Copies of this chain bind each other. A is one copy, B any other.
Amino acid sequence: MISKSQMKFISSLSQKKFRDESRCFVAEGTKLVADLVTAFDCEHLFVTPEWKQFHVLPKAVQPLEITTEELKKMSNLKSPQGILAVFRRPDYSIDNILFENKLCLALDGVQDPGNLGTIIRIADWFGVEDVFCSEYSADAFGPKTVQATMGAISRVRVHYVNLSDFLNNLPAGFPVYGTFMDGENIYSQQFNTSGIIVMGNEGNGISDAIAQKVNRRLLIPNYPTGVETSESLNVAVATALVCAEFRRRM
């Protein structure tokens, strides 16, 4: 049986400060838990009797059976899916990353958990292994983000850094890309297929301090150029378009 204090602990993980303290995070749903269990240490696994009737357990993790009511109290989903797991958050070091020949993403204050999750999923799709988030970005291990990654969080390493210091410490001349309204058309430019692609905040784009570190300013053109259209693309959509263009050229 699950204890009250256990339930309280798991509910608390919807808040960042308790995730930071415990270094734990929650994931829900059959496919997501199955993906994550291969990558992270599973601290707790809860399933309902209804779930057990129709599913096989992922790997050799020992589950605790709980009632649908108990699950509802801990779940972050509108419709809980019968399985909830608590994982230990990974500790990645950035010291040994070899940036040469590597394409990475840097996020300068992406705030929406859904956008961040979608960006991690996009990174995974395009083989981007490392995503560097400024301290003002959403938490990759928050419940909404984890769910939105659809499992990609188990394959993409998300690092939180002082983005300005991080960019300063890159090898001299290392390409740092960003998209700007006055950038150069991404489809008609020559560029390396390695480097860091910086994506900005949903409302404000790339901050001035970080914009100064960008040495290749790109533009995603709209169509037809010059006619009034939406003023901007969603940041996850823009990330996908830039990654696709880098990968198309490889």
Give A residues with C-beta under 8 Å from B: 114, 118, 121-122, 124-127, 150-152, 155, 187, 220-224, 227-231, 233-234, 236-237, 240-241, 244, 247-248, 250
Q: Are A125 and B230 in contact (CB under 8 A)?
A: yes
Copies of this protein in the complex: 2
Contact of A125 among B118, B223, B244, B247 (CB under 8 A): B223
Contact of A237 among B187, B237, B247 (CB under 8 A): B237
Q: A122-B234, A151-B230, A240-B240 are in contact. List 14 more A-B contacts (CB 8 A).
A: A121-B233, A125-B222, A125-B233, A126-B222, A127-B222, A127-B223, A127-B224, A127-B227, A127-B229, A152-B230, A155-B228, A223-B247, A233-B240, A234-B236
Task: Determine the distance from Cα of A124 to Cα of B222 in the docked complex, in whole angstroms.
Answer: 9
Chain B residue, CB-CB nearest to A31: B231
Q: Are B223 and A187 in contact (CB under 8 A)?
A: no
Chain B residue, CB-CB nearest to A187: B248
Q: Cβ of A125: which chain B residues have Cβ within 8 Å of it?
A: 222-223, 229-230, 233
A-B contact pairs, 20 of them (CB 8 A): A114-B114, A121-B230, A121-B234, A122-B237, A124-B230, A125-B230, A126-B223, A127-B222, A127-B224, A127-B227, A127-B229, A150-B231, A155-B228, A155-B229, A155-B230, A220-B244, A237-B240, A240-B240, A240-B241, A244-B244
Q: How near does chain B come to A246, taking the closest CB pair, in angstroms? A: 9
Looking at A125, A127, A220, A222, the one whose CB has the most chain B CB atoms below 10 A away is A125
Task: Determine the distance from Cα of A39 to Cα of B214 in the docked complex, in whole angstroms.
Answer: 39
Task: Determine the distance from Cα of A248 to Cα of B242 in the docked complex, in whole angstroms.
Answer: 13
Given contacts A241-B244, A244-B241, contact A122 B233 (CB under 8 A): yes
Q: Cβ of A121: which chain B residues have Cβ within 8 Å of it?
A: 230, 233-234
Q: Cβ of A155: which chain B residues have Cβ within 8 Å of it?
A: 228-230
Q: Cβ of A236: which chain B residues have Cβ within 8 Å of it?
A: 234, 237
Q: How near does chain B come to A183, taking the closest CB pair, in angstroms? A: 16
